[in-house]
Structure 1
Amino acid sequence: MAKLQQSVYFLLFITLIFSGLYFAAPFLIPITLAAIFSMVFIRLCNWLEQKGINRGWASLICVLLFILAVALIISLLYWQLGSLTDNLDTMKSRLSTMLSDLRNWVNQKLDISSKQQSDIIKSGSGGTGNLLASFAGGLLGIAVNTVLVLVYMYLSLFYRSHIKKFILKLVPDNAERKASVIVHESGKVAQHYLSGLAAMIGVLWVLYGIGFSIVGVESAIFFAVLCGLLEIIPFVGNLTGTCLTLLAVVAQGGDSKMLIGVLVVYGLVQFLQTYILEPLIVGEQVNINPLFTILSIVLGEFIWGVAGMILAIPVLGIFKIICDRIPALKPYGFLIGPENPKVKSDNWFSKLIKSKD
């Protein structure tokens, strides 16, 4: 009975946490993103400090490297987008024809006239002015949050020792060693997962680029980079990227052979990713069963949108580490973990990272 009561209290506590996360999303999303990203650069920051560089400068170098990496990816997309816009007029013409055919089909099959369809679209969109205002507001929000993430990231790296000491002061003296292990392993899981994911995305760029080029997709590199980047959202990202590629192929006037070719490339890449790339590069760094992986992504999207989907896996991995190290929470760690847990062993990518320490 005591265990049941304890479980009920814990579930109520989790519900309150999720409610707080939902309503405080604008404040918490930049902080959480910065905390997770900063974990990736902790080893590099430590290495720079060991070389005699001041912590402030070492933290700044890490942030600048992060900005440089993002800028290179955006530049690559922008460069490839230039070749895509060369055929934009033709794609618009084909899409207009397809849309006209679709409206005629709706008119014939559902007896909804073109005027009624236009009225439905206008009522759903709320007018062009509202769309432009929402778009401008969204861009401004992204710009502000980007600056906040960079600032928080620098401060997290600079004050990481102070933050760790604060966490250790929250626990009793006899539990300080266990808390230190939890903090260390949490940072290691986030670092290895995100570093391995970045390496896997780079490999996927090459695979998708080769495959789409062979099939004959126009601006193949652009869609290869897009499909690779969307892998940061498990399950949903790869399907979204492939659907966008298929839509572009249709707009480019591609035939059924090209569509089948894109699907074949997607299937081959997913096979290589699932059975070769993920075990070899990412490995069992998070060790969560597929059910809770999907649940965490859905819940993350509900609470924090796209940012929640990106953060769902590393945050749940950290939560599992905490549950595995605290006796009262071990049942929840068991529930989140796989049915037949494997002994976690370092893959070649993890050993490569450790060799740089």
Structure 2
Amino acid sequence: MSNINLTKAIRLLAFFFLLFAGMYYLEGFLVPVVFAALLAMLFTPLSEKLERKNIARGWAVLICVLILVAVFAGIVSLVAWQINDLLSNADQLQEQFAQMVAKIKVLISTKLGVSHEQQQQMLEHQRSASAGKASQTITRLVAGLGGILTSCVLVMVYMYLFMYFRTRLRNFVLKLTPTDSKHQAEKIMDTTSGVIQKYLSGLAMMIVCLWIMYGIGFSIIGVKHALFFAVLCGLLEIVPFVGNITGTTLTVLFTLAQGGDMNDVIGIVCVYGTVQFLQSYILEPLVVGRAVSINPLFTILIIVFGEFLWGIPGMILALPLLAITKIIFDNISALKPYGYLVGEDEKNHTGDYAVVKWLKGLFTGKKYAD
């Protein structure tokens, strides 16, 4: 009996090893497909509503894709407009940065005993060492931008095809399912679609709320280009953990470069703390709720693993994919223990668990209501 259990365990480990190895090496193919599948789930209700108004499915799906393109184009245009406005003061920014560097050099010389000449020699050595890599960096940057544009086009194409052939894809899954399990399969697909729709729509509403709150807060404390930094901080929220820190850090650095002082830095930190409090304990429970009910341990593990597997896209996709996996676990008897392991209790208000929930919020920027 023990040999049989050991064989099953080895097979299971081999399966997961091959699965994750395949996901790692097929990143370029899988990431656009997964993004497209999630967006298709989000826009399916709109497509169905249009189809009920006697609009052909092809046109209904195309309208959904065009709406998504228009939203992204609007966001990109807004960011580009703000960046252009920011670069209009490039000379002033360069001067302020030069002053900051000079102050840092004095601080290093005073506190660490490294003279200006030694610092200059270190900088020259670094420049000479990196000069040969400059062309390679530019080439990689251009290739990266080209890859992003290609991936965006692929996402739109895949999204259209997923939505257009959704009935065939659904019937395909049902044909693979035994007759006595068809109802269960339908329940899993419907639940998955509902959870993803709630999560993504709630996340979009949350980003808009963050834009408004950051915009008001930064404007009150007098941050220059407040709209740009509000949009930046809101958009970066989709990247768990890293987004929160990056958005605030960039706002602080540019504020200092534009002549700000410690009072401005304190103001930015206070705005960030206030917004995060309102987001975590008021807006998040109301807008998103418990759409993704994953316990803090696996929340952190899956985000770190997602970054290792697919980088930034992996961090963004980690929680929705784990939520889908949990739904499958919860609806299959043999896998329910794994669903219980990944999920969290419906009610748990102990003081110790509150600390764990805080850790979950630190890594995700989100806290889900109990």
- Higher mean alpha-carbon deviation, 7-16 vs 80-89, is at 7-16
Q: Which residue of 1 aligns with 2:178?
A: 172
Alpha-carbon distance in structure 2 between the residues aligned to 1:204 and 1:40: 21
Alpha-carbon distance in structure 2 between the residues aligned to 1:48 and 1:57: 9
CA deviation after TM superposition for structure 1 residue 86, in Å: 2.4
Alpha-carbon distance in structure 2 between the residues aligned to 1:312 and 1:122: 40
CA deviation after TM superposition for structure 1 residue 232, in Å: 1.0
Q: Which residue of 2 aligns with 1:26?
A: 28
CA deviation after TM superposition for structure 1 residue 170, in Å: 2.0
Alpha-carbon distance in structure 2 between the residues aligned to 1:31 and 1:122: 42
- Higher mean alpha-carbon deviation, 59-68 vs 14-23, is at 14-23
Alpha-carbon distance in structure 1 between the residues aligned to 2:190 and 2:169: 12
Matching residue within 288, 294, 299 for 1:293:
299
Q: Secondary structure at the match of 2:240?
A: coil
Matching residue within 332, 340, 346 for 1:341:
346
Q: Which residue of 2 aligns with 1:350?
A: none
Q: Secondary structure at the match of 2:346?
A: coil
Q: How has the CA–CA distance of structure 1 residues 169 and 123 changed in structure 2, closer, same or farther, with 3 Å as cutoff?
A: farther
- Higher mean alpha-carbon deviation, 125-134 vs 69-78, is at 125-134
Alpha-carbon distance in structure 2 between the residues aligned to 1:75 and 1:201: 17
Matched, 1:84 2:86: yes
CA deviation after TM superposition for structure 1 residue 326, in Å: 1.3
Deviations 1:5-50 (A, max 9, x none): 6455434322221111000001111111111111100100110111
Alpha-carbon distance in structure 1 between the residues aligned to 2:249 and 2:296: 23
Which residues of structure 2 form unaligned runs of 5+? 349-370
**Percent identity at matched positions?**
48
Q: Which residue of 2 aligns with 1:351?
A: none
Deviations 1:48-68 (A, max 9, x none): 111101111111000000000
Counterpart code for 1:341: E
Counterpart code for 2:182: E
Q: Secondary structure at the match of 1:234?
A: coil
Q: 8 Å contact 1:107–1:114 — kept in the other structure? A: no
Matching residue within 203, 226, 244 for 1:238:
244
Q: How has the CA–CA distance of structure 1 residues 188 and 7 changed in structure 2, closer, same or farther, with 3 Å as cutoff?
A: farther
Alpha-carbon distance in structure 2 between the residues aligned to 1:128 and 1:100: 25
Q: Which residue of 1 aligns with 2:98?
A: 96
Matching residue within 122, 135, 156 for 1:150:
156
Counterpart code for 2:54: G
Q: 8 Å contact 1:91–1:252 — kept in the other structure? A: yes
CA deviation after TM superposition for structure 1 residue 296, in Å: 1.4
Q: Which residue of 1 aligns with 2:230?
A: 224
| Mapping of residues 295-310 of structure 1, within 5 Å | 295-310=301-316
Q: TM-score, normalised by structure 1?
A: 0.90
Counterpart code for 1:66: L
Q: 8 Å contact 1:103–1:114 — kept in the other structure? A: no
Deviations 1:230-269 (A, max 9, x none): 1112222122111111111111121111100000000000
Counterpart code for 1:223: F
Matching residue within 278, 299, 312 for 2:318:
312
Q: 8 Å contact 1:125–1:131 — kept in the other structure? A: no
Q: Secondary structure at the match of 1:53?
A: coil
Matched, 1:136 2:142: yes
Counterpart code for 2:301: L
CA deviation after TM superposition for structure 1 residue 173, in Å: 1.5
| Mapping of residues 62-77 of structure 1, within 5 Å | 62-77=64-79
CA deviation after TM superposition for structure 1 residue 113, in Å: 3.9
Alpha-carbon distance in structure 1 between the residues aligned to 2:8 and 2:332: 14
| Mapping of residues 197-276 of structure 1, within 5 Å | 197-276=203-282
Q: When the two structures are aligned, how many residues end up with a matched partner?
A: 342
CA deviation after TM superposition for structure 1 residue 83, in Å: 2.3
CA deviation after TM superposition for structure 1 residue 97, in Å: 2.8
Counterpart code for 1:94: Q
Q: How has the CA–CA distance of structure 1 residues 105 and 264 changed in structure 2, closer, same or farther, with 3 Å as cutoff?
A: closer
Q: How has the CA–CA distance of structure 1 residues 264 and 8 changed in structure 2, closer, same or farther, with 3 Å as cutoff?
A: farther
- Higher mean alpha-carbon deviation, 72-81 vs 93-102, is at 93-102
Counterpart code for 1:200: M
- Higher mean alpha-carbon deviation, 71-80 vs 262-271, is at 71-80
CA deviation after TM superposition for structure 1 residue 126, in Å: 4.8
Alpha-carbon distance in structure 1 between the residues aligned to 2:271 and 2:288: 22
Q: Secondary structure at the match of 1:232?
A: coil
Alpha-carbon distance in structure 1 between the residues aligned to 2:23 and 2:343: 23
CA deviation after TM superposition for structure 1 residue 199, in Å: 0.4
- Higher mean alpha-carbon deviation, 102-111 vs 326-335, is at 102-111
Q: TM-score, normalised by structure 2?
A: 0.87
CA deviation after TM superposition for structure 1 residue 139, in Å: 1.1
Q: 8 Å contact 1:300–1:309 — kept in the other structure? A: yes
Q: 8 Å contact 1:212–1:224 — kept in the other structure? A: yes
